[in-house]
Amino acid sequence: MRTARLAAAAVAAGIVLTGCNGSSGASSTGPAEITFWGWAAGYEKSVALWNRTHPDIHVTYEAITDGGAGGYDKLFTAAKAGKAPCLAQVGYETFASFLAAGVLQDVSDQLKPRRAEFADWVWGNVGVDGRTYGVPVDTAPMAMFYRADLFRKAHLAVPKTWEDFTKAAAAVKAADPSARIMNLPTDPYLYAGFAWQGGAPWFGTKGDAWSVSLDSAANTEVADYWQGLFDQDLVTSYPAFDATLYSAWSKGEVWAEVGPVWSASLIRDNAAGSAGKWAVAPMPRWNGTDTVGNSGGSATAVMKDCARPKEATEFALWMSTDTGSVSNLIASAAILPAAKSGLANKALDAPQSYYGGRPVYQLFRAEAAKVNSGWRWGPVMSTTATTLGDGLGKVHTKQSTIRDALDGAQRGTESALRSQGFSVSD
């Protein structure tokens, strides 16, 4: 418990405990052997590209289970036993949990000369108070995917604001009483993207304590918007990532999906029946602002017991910025690169046949610069996401509301923080 409290205070203050392992941060001579654990498609190909041209630093890649499906547990267990790899794929939403556990290594000095190669807000996902513990790989700005054929047939303009979106939702129902504009966002991380855009943070720090604000006025405003659409029967309420939703996309029963860049492959791979009929437009805006939300993205984290952090960081930077590596990751994993040079990659200009030959990733390139920069994740996101997801999943029964879900997540998150020894501000 004392260690947890110290870690909590360290995270809030921007200082992370990295343990006293004798090999941590050590520098030795000779060829460096770097181990790397991850699960994203294409990582092994980027590693192979590196090894062909960098004989002095050899990287061994080991594919593990997706983080949320057990990969993070494996990493934490290995770190506790002093057997963690040098590098690990860690999603932005979970990075704070790794920081709080004290299992990452500060590589700020190695990264300082390269910080300008990435947008400032991205660095906030891989460290605190200017100290950095990993290299960003990708981001996931949000936009509006929509059935261009159905919008055109209904003479419906693509909504530019959330007020427009409400009007469009009513127009869709009027045009086809069996159709709706979108599915209610009940996945907690997708829902977070709407809060992110709306300037409704969930976490912050005050001194050495965490603050939790899922029930804030700003969050209530976002919740009430989606609750209003649901109460007016203007959205569907299929489970997130469910075959029934995918079928509705294919059949034209759901006309749009406001989601992150990776929704492009999600729709493509699960709604083959509507190939060629989708287009992408900017995410509707709030109150005249020009900001978007982000829902996803990951980094290459440097683990605390890595004996060659300089070399490990060198590879991680290369993977996120080298033209060949980034082209591979775009093709293999459909990422939107976090590096500015990666955003200039010509692979993002390629026409996408599923989207009627439109180069849809060009839009996400432009929107990446508009992500709201004020968001940060907390150190108990597994609890926050589970509690919020459970609450959002009950909204369709009309026995619970999105406000109720946020209130439950607020209480569950504060309880989890305190039980793990974190200080929580009132």
Q: What span, in angstroms and rounded, lies between the C-alpha atoms of 414 and 289?
A: 31
Rounded mean pLDDT, 173-187: 98
Residue 21 pLDDT more than 50? no
Q: What is the pLDDT of residue 29?
A: 61
Rounded mean pLDDT, 199-214: 94
Token look-up 């939790």 returns 212
All structural domains of the chain, each given as residue ranges with its CATH number in brackets, are 2-140+296-344 (3.40.190.10), 142-294+375-419 (3.40.190.10)
**Whole-prediction pTM:** 0.91
Q: What is the pLDDT of residue 48?
A: 98
Give the CA angle between residues 288, 189, 8 to the nearest 5°. 105
Tens digit of each residue's pLDDT (9 = 90 or more) over 265-297: 999 999 999 999 999 999 999 988 999 999 999
Q: What is the pLDDT of residue 206?
A: 87
Tens digit of each residue's pLDDT (9 = 90 or more) over 122-166: 999 999 888 999 999 999 999 999 999 999 999 999 999 999 999
Cα separations in angstroms, 30 against 24, 27, 120, 308: 17, 10, 35, 11
Tens digit of each residue's pLDDT (9 = 90 or more) over 72-90: 999 999 999 999 999 999 9
Per the CB < 8 A criterion, the answer to whether 303 and 79 are in contact is yes
Per the CB < 8 A criterion, the answer to whether 215 and 288 are in contact is no
Residue 9 pLDDT more than 50? no
Residue 20 pLDDT more than 80? no
Question: Percent of the chain having pLDDT more than 70?
Answer: 93
Q: Look up residue 197 and give its amino acid.
A: Q
DSSP states along 294-328? B---EEEEEBTT-S-HHHHHHHHHHHHH-HHHHHH
Q: What is the pLDDT of residue 31?
A: 83
Rounded mean pLDDT, 240-251: 97
- Helix (H) or strand (E) holding 132, with range, is strand 131-132
Q: What span, in angstroms and rounded, lies between the C-alpha atoms of 412 and 383?
A: 7
